[in-house]
Homo-oligomer: A and B are copies of this chain.
Amino acid sequence: MIRPVNAEMPVRPRRKRRGRYHHGDLGRALLQEALRTIQADGVESLTLRGVGKSLGVSRTALYRHFSDKSALLRAVAREGFRTLRLELLEAWQANGRGREAFEAMGVAYVRFALAHPSHYRVMFGGFVEMGSADPELAAEAAGAFGALVDALVALQQAGLVRRDEPLLLARFIWAIVHGIARLAIDGQMRCSPDESEALTRFAIERVRTGIAA
């Protein structure tokens, strides 16, 4: 079958030259392998040489796709914030967008951290300098935080939460779930996952009283 000439196609489409090198999308493969390693063995076990080896690629192939190791970690963090945002939205929307949904979001947050502790550490561990550089990462992080802010504003408008400044309220709530998550995954409070969830529910219950309208 002869494909018609299409104005959107480049004049001389680059052929893929498959098999010439090891990968079609090495960048994607590198990110996924890094995620796998981190999930399995933790960040401190992640080495560029190891990632390359797992993919049957030279130690330095990575530098064609990431400027350095920290750029790879930033990509990992970005991916994490994206997943977190989706899970928070899912909890909010699937539970009626009310007080119960807000509680479900808190539980979902802590569950995410407990399910992906190493990934969570990369997101928050200061491996990554937020801020100035990497606006994409900053945007993903802001997106996850935004899910929380939006939910709080909705609760305020429904008359369920006091009308303090939403940003301050959101930071307060975020600090609580983040604190529980980090203490749990860093092994600081000797707690089973069930106990961590019980603590989360207790916290939300007490906070509900504290911030009720």
Contact = CB atoms under 8 A, between A and B. Distances in A.
A126 B188 CA distance: 9
Contacts of A164: 202
Interface in A153-191: 164, 168, 171-172, 174-180, 182-183, 185-191
Interface stretch (A12-20, A90-98, A205-213): A205-213
Given A121-B126, A210-B210, A199 B171 contact: yes
A121 to B, nearest CB: 7
A47 to B, nearest CB: 15
A56 interface: no
Interface residues of A, number: 38
Contacts of A210: 206-211
B211 A168 contact: no
A129 B188 CA distance: 9
Interface of A is mostly: helix
A172 B124 contact: no
B121 A188 contact: no
B125 A168 contact: no
Nearest to A191: B171
Nearest to A138: B190
A100 B65 CA distance: 54
A10 interface: no
Contacts of A124: 182-183, 186, 188
Nearest to A42: B126
A187 to B, nearest CB: 5
A4 interface: no
B125 A187 contact: no
A192 to B, nearest CB: 13
14 contacts: A121-B126, A126-B185, A126-B186, A126-B187, A129-B187, A131-B190, A168-B202, A172-B206, A174-B189, A175-B183, A177-B179, A178-B179, A210-B210, A210-B211
Given A121-B126, A210-B211, 17 more contacts: A129-B187, A130-B188, A131-B187, A168-B198, A171-B191, A171-B199, A172-B199, A172-B206, A174-B183, A174-B189, A176-B176, A182-B182, A206-B207, A206-B211, A207-B207, A207-B210, A209-B210
